[in-house]
Structure 1
Amino acid sequence: MRLWRSAALALPSLALLQSGLAQANFQNPGLLAPESQLPVFHQQLRDRLDFSLGWTKEHHAKPQAWTQAGLRKARELMLLPGQDLTPFSAHVIEEQDRGSYVARKLEFNVSADSRVAALLLLPKGKGPFPAVLALHDHGARFDIGKEKLIQPWGDEARERAAAAWAGRYFSGRYPGDELAKRGYVVLAVDALGWSDRSGAGFERDSQQALAANLFNLGSSWAALIATEDIRAAKFLAEMPEVDARHIAALGFSMGAQRAWQVAALSDAVTASIAVNWMAGLQGLMVPGNNQLKGQSSFAMLHPYLARYLDYPDVAALAAPKPMLLYAGAQDALFPLASVSQAFAKMAQVWSAYGAVEQLQTCVWPGGHEFTAPQQQAAFDWLDGQFRRLEQAPQQACGASTFTPLKND
């Protein structure tokens, strides 16, 4: 009897729907425009993002406690589980004399699973020397990776591709080689998917499948990259030619994201230079931004991290280590308002540590690039941090070609 009554009660409502007298109230469509592929309820999801472990002014009195809690969660979510103690077992493949320094092709075990090729620059003379872990960008170009930052040799196709890349983004220079001329050991390694670690036919559309398969294997592309960057920094720190007290991470674009990420997560990295990758997550979720397109974003997206920490929060876990961040005033990938908010938030953390001078945040005229004047100012800044200049520059943003953001 109860079942019959329930069915009978439901019939009038059904009749109303069939006659068109009731108003439809379901989501149609469920997704927004194809260029964003956001669900129509994305604003509700965004409003619930509170970054529960993120920096607030209430943490100012005890920044160390905030850092410790943030690092525990960041390492849990951003790195592969377990501690990899695999011997690096490096082997030099080839060497080229470049005047004041030597370039080497070598291989080493970046993990228990991967033995990789790398480029290494070694200054001549008596060490140990300060060092830089040079982290390549994404760029939607996979035939070169480490070669974007260190000039390759012995492969004409890669030489041409690297020269074109340097001309487009770095004023025709190779940042790694410029640092080696200054007396830095420089190491560059391919992330999975680039150069020697790319596969036949790997291209922009291949990234989605790679990311999905790593999810299926209980991992993520972003976690793999972050974990390997930490191992590369440790490898650099253990080299007898390197002064382990002075190791910087440097990168442009995705390489910048990798630079502040490894500076936060690795004890081996003692300073960082991040060029053109910093903003708040909310500020990047705007139509047309790469963060909304899948593919390349998976190399930088850590599952569930947004529940706890925003991008500037993660970078600020490196405090009070010296950090230099550049942005381009006309960089369409990183809206300047969000960049400014991120820089200001980070400055609060360094200020709480009493080390506000250790953070430099600069906006340069121009777009998504790391030009010769920017390189000169950044490398002078790094020399100053590592006490290789009698007096560090007051600003790492050049003379009259910058707009610094206040660290407050």
Structure 2
Amino acid sequence: MRRPSHCRRPFRPLCALALAAGLAHGQDYQQHAIDGPLPVFAPALKARLTFPMAWTPQIKDLPAWRAAGRAKLWEATLQERDDTPFAPQVIATQDRGSYVARQVVFNLTATSRVRALLLVPKAPGPHPAALLLHDHGGRFDIGKEKLIAPWGDSARETAARTWADKYFGGRMPGDELARRGYVVLAADALGWGDRGPLTGDAQQALAANFFNLGSSLAGNMALEDLRAAAFLAALPEVDRRHVAALGFSMGALRAWQVAALSDAITAVVAVNWMATTQGLMVAGNNQLRGSSAFQMLHPGLLRYLDYPDVASLAAPKPALFFAGAADTLFPLPSVQEAYAKMARVWSAWHAADKFETRILPGGHAFPVAAQDEAYGWLDRRFGRRD
């Protein structure tokens, strides 16, 4: 058998060197590629996250920047536009003094007809309105009931009171807004309340199967929130110039996201969900644990826009953001970095006075004092008496 030409006698020293080099490099290969929930090359991937579609001072055409960012966000949801008639039907009512609670069934999308809770003041309208967006919290038996008191279901009534005691100082946020003269709407996200059952462990498979179906779990939520905003704004009792999105925790992300996507939303209150990607992708943070993170991640979006960049697409709408100084889910330095980035965008719109932030002394909660401040802020923004 003939030796390869490069290993014939005159080239034997070179062949030996190549063999030695091959043996040396043969010991130098990736043997441990996973570090906890991350690949070992995560720092290299992080370094690529430059967010090229974020606002910079060099951008002068703000409407064009916002339109491009909104289009990129919508593209990342993997959803199609949906103009299905809502076809609402009230199936139950309850008198609550100055307002009426309704259970209303409507077409949230072309594929989902849902039951929502709607609160309507008795006083003559039209009224300002608030789309309330519930949190995740790892509890799926209630969704809309986390924000508006249910009736006719003792188990959910008890669960709602427990949730309000834990996160809202014992008050149902939606009912308080209705007492103040707002029309209030809350619906279940997919997997919560009527739209379950879902468990923490099942979320990952659900998200994967959305991808198998050419869709996205987070994108479906964004579409549904967009549609809920349109439904609320179109109600005859509502002053469509004054429609707020308000949410806590995952609901806060939903609130600033729908404010970025929807012209129906004219103001936003977001409580305990804002930070930078770099600040969240740290050891021990909830964002690294999978499962529930799928509800809030659009495929590929972070290659273009960071979380505060997406929220900034809502500018120059009035926006109020709350964070807890002791909230372990959202490290305060990262929150403050995100707020500073957002403030620059509102300033570029000459609307610095419309963007406000509050750092609460506690953790992951929306206490009564903060609620009162938020509702008073909304009243002022909507030209109502505080």
If the length of structure 2 is used for normalisation, what is the TM-score? 0.95
Structure 1 unaligned residues grouped into runs of 5+: 393-408
CA–CA distance in structure 1, aligned partners of residues 172 and 353 of structure 2: 28
Matched position secondary structure for 1:127: coil
CA shift for structure 1 position 13:
8.3
Matched position secondary structure for 1:193: coil
Matched position secondary structure for 1:139: coil
Q: Tell me which residue corresponds to 1:25.
A: 28
1:152 and 1:159 in contact (8 A); partners too: yes
What's the CA shift string for 1:24-78, capped at 9, x where partnerless?
2112210002xxx11101000100111110122222x332232122112112113
CA–CA distance in structure 2, aligned partners of residues 11 and 191 of structure 1: 65
CA shift for structure 1 position 314:
0.5
Q: Does 1:67 align with 2:66?
A: yes
What's the CA shift string for 1:305-336, capped at 9, x where partnerless?
00100000000001000000000000000011
Larger radius of gyration: 2
What amino acid maps onto 2:347 in structure 1?
S
Q: Does 1:58 align with 2:64?
A: no
From 121, 132, 135, give the equivalent of 1:134: 132
Q: Tell me which residue corresponds to 2:290.
A: 294
Matched position secondary structure for 1:354: coil
What amino acid maps onto 1:66 in structure 2?
W
The equivalences for 1:253-272 within 5 A come to: 253-272=249-268
1:222 and 1:299 in contact (8 A); partners too: yes
Q: Tell me which residue corresponds to 2:189.
A: 191
Q: Tell me which residue corresponds to 2:86.
A: 88
1:248 and 1:270 in contact (8 A); partners too: yes
Change (3 A) 1:105 1:7: farther
If the length of structure 1 is used for normalisation, what is the TM-score? 0.90
CA shift for structure 1 position 2:
9.6
Q: Does 1:38 align with 2:41?
A: no
The equivalences for 1:156-305 within 5 A come to: 156-199=154-197, 202-305=198-301
Change (3 A) 1:40 1:238: same
Matched position secondary structure for 2:38: coil
Change (3 A) 1:207 1:6: farther
Q: Tell me which residue corresponds to 2:114.
A: 116
CA–CA distance in structure 1, aligned partners of residues 249 and 210 of structure 2: 23
Matched position secondary structure for 1:96: strand
What amino acid maps onto 1:45 in structure 2?
L
What's the CA shift string for 1:156-175, capped at 9, x where partnerless?
11111111100000000000
Q: Provide the aligned length of Structure 1 versus Structure 2.
A: 382
CA–CA distance in structure 2, aligned partners of residues 24 and 161 of structure 1: 58
CA–CA distance in structure 2, aligned partners of residues 246 and 2 of structure 1: 86
Matched position secondary structure for 1:58: coil
Structure 2 unaligned residues grouped into runs of 5+: none
CA–CA distance in structure 1, aligned partners of residues 279 and 24 of structure 2: 43
Of the structure 1 ranges 305-314 and 24-33, higher mean CA displacement relative to structure 2 is found in 24-33
Matched position secondary structure for 1:244: strand
Matched position secondary structure for 1:154: coil
2:312 and 2:345 in contact (8 A); partners too: yes
Of the structure 1 ranges 4-13 and 86-95, higher mean CA displacement relative to structure 2 is found in 4-13
Percentage of matched positions with identical amino acids? 59
2:78 and 2:214 in contact (8 A); partners too: no
Q: Tell me which residue corresponds to 1:328.
A: 324
What's the CA shift string for 1:55-103, capped at 9, x where partnerless?
22222x332232122112112113512x211110111111000000011
**RMSD between aligned alpha carbons?**
2.1
Change (3 A) 1:13 1:144: farther
What amino acid maps onto 2:172 in structure 1?
Y
Runs of 4+ deviating beyond 4 Å? 1-18, 20-23
